[in-house]
Amino acid sequence: MIPIADENPTIRTPWVTVGILASMFACWIFLQGGGVTERDLAASVCNLGLVPGELTGRADAGISVPISERWACVVDRDPINLWTPLTSMFLHGSWGHILGNALFFWVFGNNVEDVMGRGRFVAFYLLCGLAAAAAHIVVDAASPIPTVGASGAVSGVMGAYLMLFPKVRVRMLFWFVIFIKVIPIPAWLVLVWWFATQLLSGIPDIVSPNPELAGGVAFWAHVGGFVAGVVLVKAFENPRLVQRRRMALAAWGVPSG
C-alpha cells in the first residue's frame, strides 16, 4: 500500500519541497555515489550517519559494526558526530530507501508548505528531523549502528498533514500478485494506520536488551518525528496563507480539507 498522489491542489509552487528533494538526491548521487561505489556509500553512512552511542558516549570507541561483507563502521569520538542528527537526514542507504522517502515527502509535503510558507516549512522540517533523531537516541542510546534517512523529518510532515487535511483523499496503490488497483482513502485513515504500524513495530526496540539486536528500521524516529509534526504544526501554520488557500480553493470549487 503506497501513496501515489492526493486530491489536494496547491496554490503556490512548492519550491522548498522541490529544493529538499533536490538536496537529498544531490547527496545520494554526488556524496554517496548513487549506491554504485560501495566504498563511498559505506564512508558516508559511517562518517555522517547518526550513531546514538557516539553521541551519548555509551558505545565504546573502537567497536566495529559490519554494514556489508567488505566494510564496517568503527565507533569514534570525532567532533563531526555532533552534526550527524542533521547530516543523517540527507543521506540514504539505497535507491529504494531514497525513492520511498521522496515519494512520501512529495505527496504530503507540498500542501504543508502551502500553508506554512517557505521559511517556516524549512524550520519545521528540520525540527521534526531533529525530534526524530532525539527519539531514536532515547530508545537506542547505546547503539553503535549508524542510521541515515529523511524518514524522521518526512514523518513530521505526515503528522502535520493529518492535522491540516484529515478529510482529503489520498490515492493509494494496492497490489496483490497480479491485482493492482488505485483506491482513494481519507488521509486520516492512511496516516493513523501508518503511525500505528510504526508504533507497534517499534515495541521490540524497547524490550530488546541488546541494541545490536534491534531491527534495521528506526521506528521510534518515525514515531518521534510524527508526534513532533502533530505538536508543532499549529505554531508554524501561517494564518494568512491558510486564508489565501481557502479562498483560492473555494473559487475553484475544491474542498479545503
Q: How far apart, in whole angstroms, are the C-alpha atoms of residue 129 and residue 109?
A: 14
pLDDT of residue 72: 93
Within 87-147, strands assigned E span none
Residue 250: predicted pLDDT:
83
Domain boundaries, the chain: 2-248
CB 235 within 8 A of CB 165: no
Supply the pLDDT for residue 216. Answer: 64
Q: Per residue of the chain (257 residues), give pLDDT as tens.
A: 799 999 999 999 999 999 999 999 999 999 999 999 899 999 999 999 999 999 999 999 999 999 888 899 999 999 999 999 999 999 999 999 999 999 999 999 999 999 999 999 999 999 999 999 999 999 999 999 999 999 999 999 999 999 999 999 999 998 877 788 999 999 999 999 999 999 999 888 777 655 554 446 889 999 999 999 999 999 999 999 999 998 888 887 777 66
Structure-block grid coordinates of residue 243: 486564508
Q: Which CATH number fits domain 2-248: 3.30.1360.180, 3.60.10.10, 1.20.1540.10, 1.10.3720.10?
A: 1.20.1540.10
Q: Output the pLDDT for position 213.
A: 44
CA distance 26 to 236: 27
What pLDDT shows up at residue 251?
82
State residue 39's pLDDT score.
92
pLDDT of residue 206: 76
Lookup result for grid cell 555532533: 82
